[in-house]
Structure 1
Amino acid sequence: MSFVARTRAALDDASTKWWWWTLAAAADLALSLAIIRFVPYTEIDFKAYMQEVEGPLLHDEWDYTKLRGDTGPLVYPAGFVWIYMAIRELTRGGTDLLPAQILFAGLHALLVFLVLGAIYYQPDAAKDARRVPFWVGPMVVISRRVHSIFVLRLFNDGIAMVIMYAALFLYVRRRWILGTLLFSAALSVKMNILLFAPGVAVLLLESIGLTASLGHAALCVGTQVAVAFPFLRANAAGYMDRAFELGRVFMFKWTVNFKFLDPETFVRKELALGLLSATLLTWLAFGQRHFAASHKGGLLGLVRSSLASPMRAPLVSTRVPAHDWKMHVTTTLLTSNFIGIAFARSMHYQFYSWYFHSLAFLAYASKANVVVAVLVCVTIEVCYNVYPATPLSSGLLQATHLLLLLRLWIKPPSTLRDGESRAKKA
């Protein structure tokens, strides 16, 4: 074996070890702290966040329709309020930003650890050569824009994604209840977490059965009610309208993915309905071909078997080899999220944190070669570093999104069977 081959094998083996994830997270923390030290903070929404949480914190005001900041009314769920109330206290009313920046640096380092812990997870008993290659790992750290989103902008998107990746970390390890609690907690911070919901639904339905899945749905609802209870008691209709506003129209000025359209076309309802329809149909198509590929009849077969035997889990996940299970859970959840992003009505710069950390893994999972995979990641990073966005950068971003989505679609469906370890088929 050549030196290069031995080095590559050693790196691939090391990448499955928790100490490597910790080392990568520590390096990311050092990078974030250096950015805080040498790059000036830029105010965008943090001041508005502090104003939006003043009501309940300082004035005992719990009516969501009366909470607002300089950028407009509060439009995030209640988890956002509780978290930024704490951050407001940490930063002396939002005047001392350094503690918040250090907090966000730590959160991004934690996110790096969770992502690597999910995609590289490999129990000691499983000596599977089909590991996720080492090169995927560094791609989780290297992003100018994402570090800016976390430590120079302090957006709530980052907090929501840290909690969601903690849920993914648990789902890979079959910790269903804790995973669902964190999924719902992430949703209470920002509504984009709903993009993971189709993937979560398939995983729960096949792994714990219909009856238990309905219990998890109730757990999600209960978590939302508990987090939002003071606001629901004050004005339930107002809370639901503001926190989960589905019909919001974004400003053309800030779109990163549709600058090749004219402003009039961008705000047309027909465009919004077309993108929503494309999202729903693509979720269903991927559900049939990929997410539920292990079940006879795909997604439809999974639903039929679940209705016929609601107490039985169609898939015995503990009998699935570790690598196959990790790939199934991670690919299903991250692809579900990416589909929503590919057809999003508008992507803003901070929304990049919704999926940056999944891009290298998805490129690998799409069976693209290393050069193409890295090129996809670099192209998307470059597009998000063009400010303001241009028709060319938006067109290139959308084309790259669709290319990756097409690669994920045409790759052969993966069934959860390997050697003597076989998942039950529905």
Structure 2
Amino acid sequence: MLRMFNDGVAMMLLFLAVYLFARQRWRWGCVLFSLAVSIKMNVLLFAPALFFLLLQSCGILRTAWYLLVCAAIQVALGYPFLKHNWWGYVNRAFDLSRVFAFKWTVNWRFLDEATFVSGGFALLLLLGHVFFMVLLLDKHFHIVGTIRAVMMKPFAVYEPFPIQSEIVVTSLFVMNFVGVVFSRTLHYQFYAWYYPTLPYLLWCSDLPLLLKMAALLNNEYAFNTFPSTTMSSIMLQLTNLFLLITLYLNQKSNSFVPYLDAESRLKLTAFVNEECFDGARQLALYYGSVTENLADGARVASIDEHEVVLSLPTMKLTLAVGFGSSGPVTGEGYGRQVLTEMLREAGAGLRAGNTMGKLISREYTKEKELERLVNALDEPHERTDARQSLRQRTTATTVTTTTTSTMTTTSV
């Protein structure tokens, strides 16, 4: 029973929660997230990213409600213990001053035991954790911009903005990895905390393939070496710290999607809905190729780095219009330029009686017509070639027959 650790169960629930977050199912995702926390405290490493995702998507009031749901689950599950000895339960459940056994550490074996258990070392790790957490939160969420945006309308209740699944998954996994790198200790079973995310994080970086494979092998070597050695722990820590720094410095647009902060999203949404007369309706008519009736009352629901999401109340659906080669949009100024050009193109197209669907259909029809004409022109040549081939075969047969007859006559 000693080896039946609960880390795997907690992470199973956590990854189900991440799936729900990626599908914008925030309420049920928070339920599973809280259940995972009730099993293992390490799940809280994902919490900073989740908090900012909720703020950007849902605003202050909905975020507060979802956090209340998480807290209510914790109280309900711990009620039998809280009822009899609430202080003992809280103190032991959230004992952040606990000292771990040096004999089981995988990541700090190269230190002496006195340093490993010292309060100064624990404080140093905490400072490193907070430092990198703030750096990466600001990289992903533009902390000041997000807070300013939600404080513009702090008590507004609106439908959640959709957030790209890549953004959700990447930010959650990176925040967890920060906690792993600066963890006071990693036991062998703690590998379950981050191993399933490691390939994803490596392929989010711009490291060469050989270095990505080396990072995976170094982690495997460290967690498959028992007891851990100075070499295995040094390799593990240097590899993971190097990957963490690489993730922060990485600028590849197809790996780390640049975040359009919440303030810019709100301003760009207001730009189309309030400053551009009939703008959302024109976008729906031209790029969405919907009918006049369906486009009535269209409004921009949200804007992210790659697309404008239109709300069509008549259909009770949303319509996504991508920025195409103009994306990703990573700032308000550039976003205004892209949207202005899209609205200009939509207006000109509608005045000419065109929509994107019609243009694509015409291009398709032209291609098919051109293909038909080319085939029609090639057909006479094929027939001529066939006739010439037939004449050649007939001539060859005649010559062969004549030669055979001559040989027969000579023999006689």
Per the shorter chain, which TM-score range? 0.5 to 0.7
Partner residue, 2:306? 418
Are 2:223 and 1:373 aligned? no
Partner residue, 1:203? 53
Residues 212-270 of structure 1 show CA distances to partners (whole Å, capped at 9, x for unaligned) of 10111111110100011111001000100111111100011111000110111111101
Unaligned runs of 5+ in 1: 1-45, 48-152, 293-297
Specify the code of the residue in structure 2 equivalent to 1:278. Answer: G
- More divergent stretch after superposition (169-178 vs 361-370): 361-370
Q: Please list, as runs of the form range in 1=range in 2, the aligned pairs for 1:145-294 lying within 5 A after superposition.
A: 153-289=3-139, 291-292=140-141
C-alpha distance in 2 between matches for 1:196 and 1:273: 20
Residues 35-89 of structure 1 show CA distances to partners (whole Å, capped at 9, x for unaligned) of xxxxxxxxxxx24xxxxxxxxxxxxxxxxxxxxxxxxxxxxxxxxxxxxxxxxxx
Are 2:134 and 1:302 aligned? no
Runs ≥4 residues deviating over 3 A: 311-318, 419-426
Q: Shift of residue 314 of structure 1?
A: 10
Are 2:223 and 1:335 aligned? no
Q: Please list, as runs of the form range in 1=range in 2, the aligned pairs for 1:6-405 lying within 5 A after superposition.
A: 46-47=1-2, 153-289=3-139, 291-292=140-141, 298-311=142-155, 317-318=161-162, 325-405=164-244
Check 1:309–1:254 CA distance in 2 against 1; reply closer, same or farther (3 A cut).
Answer: same
Check 1:400–1:424 CA distance in 2 against 1; reply closer, same or farther (3 A cut).
Answer: closer
Task: Decide whether the 8 Å contact of 1:275 with 1:345 is kept in 2.
Answer: yes
C-alpha distance in 2 between matches for 1:372 and 1:315: 43
Partner residue, 1:147? none
Q: Shift of residue 312 of structure 1?
A: 5.1
C-alpha distance in 1 between matches for 2:159 and 2:206: 25
Unaligned runs of 5+ in 2: 260-303, 308-320, 324-328, 333-412
C-alpha distance in 2 between matches for 1:223 and 1:391: 42
Partner residue, 1:69? none
| CA RMSD, Structure 1 to Structure 2 (Å) | 2.1
Specify the code of the residue in structure 2 equivalent to 1:336. Answer: M
SS of residue in 2 equivalent to 1:417: coil
Task: Decide whether the 8 Å contact of 2:58 with 2:161 is kept in 1.
Answer: no
SS of residue in 1 equivalent to 2:69: helix
C-alpha distance in 2 between matches for 1:243 and 1:376: 34
Specify the code of the residue in structure 1 equivalent to 2:148. Answer: R
Check 1:314–1:205 CA distance in 2 against 1; reply closer, same or farther (3 A cut).
Answer: farther
Residues 181-240 of structure 1 show CA distances to partners (whole Å, capped at 9, x for unaligned) of 000000000110110000111110101111110111111110100011111001000100
Task: Decide whether the 8 Å contact of 1:195 with 1:336 is kept in 2.
Answer: yes
Task: Decide whether the 8 Å contact of 1:314 with 1:425 is kept in 2.
Answer: no
Check 1:379–1:226 CA distance in 2 against 1; reply closer, same or farther (3 A cut).
Answer: same
Residues 142-193 of structure 1 show CA distances to partners (whole Å, capped at 9, x for unaligned) of xxxxxxxxxxx32101110000001001001000000000000000001101
C-alpha distance in 1 between matches for 2:225 and 2:111: 17
C-alpha distance in 1 between matches for 2:46 and 2:79: 24
Partner residue, 2:277? none
Specify the code of the residue in structure 1 equivalent to 2:179. Answer: G
Tell me the number of residue pairs that the alignment of Structure 1 and Structure 2 aligns.
265
Larger-gyration structure (1/2): 2
C-alpha distance in 1 between matches for 2:322 and 2:60: 24
Q: Percent identity?
A: 37
Partner residue, 2:351? none
Question: So what's the TM-score if we normalise by structure 1?
Answer: 0.59
C-alpha distance in 2 between matches for 1:312 and 1:392: 55
Question: So what's the TM-score if we normalise by structure 2?
Answer: 0.61
Specify the code of the residue in structure 2 equivalent to 1:266. Answer: F
Q: Shift of residue 359 of structure 1?
A: 0.2
Specify the code of the residue in structure 1 equivalent to 2:29. Answer: G
C-alpha distance in 2 between matches for 1:409 and 1:282: 9
Check 1:359–1:312 CA distance in 2 against 1; reply closer, same or farther (3 A cut).
Answer: farther
C-alpha distance in 1 between matches for 2:34 and 2:66: 10
Check 1:367–1:317 CA distance in 2 against 1; reply closer, same or farther (3 A cut).
Answer: farther
Task: Decide whether the 8 Å contact of 1:257 with 1:394 is kept in 2.
Answer: yes
Q: Shift of residue 301 of structure 1?
A: 1.0
- With a CA cutoff of 8 Å and minimum separation of 6, indicate the structure with the bigger relative contact order: 1
